[in-house]
Amino acid sequence: MTDPTRTIITGPAIPLRGHDIDTDRIIPARFLKCVVFDGIGDHVFEDDRSQERERGKTHPFDDPRWADARILVVNRNFGCGSSREHAPQAIMRWGRGIQAIVGESFAEIFFGNCAAIGVPCVTADEGTIARLMDLATAQPGLAFRLDLPARRLTAGDVTATVAMPEGARQQLVEGRWDTTAELLEARAAITATAARLPYFAHWR
């Protein structure tokens, strides 16, 4: 397994304003038929982007100023609605790949689905998020730096303390977030343990 730790994440940030952005807006239901997630990033916010084009406007995810973004900045209750795991997959696979999300708050299942694929979701207060969004808008190429061990985000002259549930943060920092990979690496030990358990005997 390649280095799975998620400790320092740097890159430009893309601001996405609005509260209660649900998973159906992140990835519409018609794109949930895929068995694998290849290409799903092309359809992130598909309907929102189309609606903005019809109004003669440009959605942030269509704006070339943020084409290289690695960090997404959002408002309150991001990722609410249905529990579709396609939503964080689509965000992660858009453009160069969103590696972290910073917001006021996140829906619980969305947060868990992000953590399961190694995308940290950290929170900051409303005023800090507003400053970060304004900064990303004014300076689209500015590098943001998320330091998970230090629970700190820096961008230009802004330094902010961010929060994340400790269990999920430790898993990302220590590289233990990929539970499937951990199971596969421990296959021999699991098999040996199962062989010693009498209630597995009838399966052999």
- The pLDDT assigned to 36 comes to 81
State yes or no: pLDDT of 182 exceeds 80: no
CA distance 19 to 44: 17
For the chain, what percent of residues have pLDDT higher than 90?
73
Amino acid residing at 162? V
State yes or no: pLDDT of 80 exceeds 70: yes
pLDDT band at 2 (very low <50, low <70, confident <90, very high): very low
Angle value at C-alpha 16, between 91 and 67, nearest 5 degrees: 60
Amino acid residing at 194? A
Mean pLDDT, residues 151-158 = 95
Angle value at C-alpha 10, between 45 and 98, nearest 5 degrees: 20
Q: Are 101 and 74 in contact (CB under 8 A)?
A: yes
User: What are the distances in angstroms from CA 76 to CA 8, 57, 90, 127?
Assistant: 24, 23, 20, 12
CA distance 196 to 58: 61
Rounded to two decimals, the pTM is 0.86
More confident residue, 39 or 4: 39
- The pLDDT assigned to 178 comes to 55
Please identify which residue in the block is written with the tokens 């390649």. Answer: 2
Average pLDDT, the chain: 89
pLDDT tens digit sequence for 84-102: 899 999 999 999 999 999 9
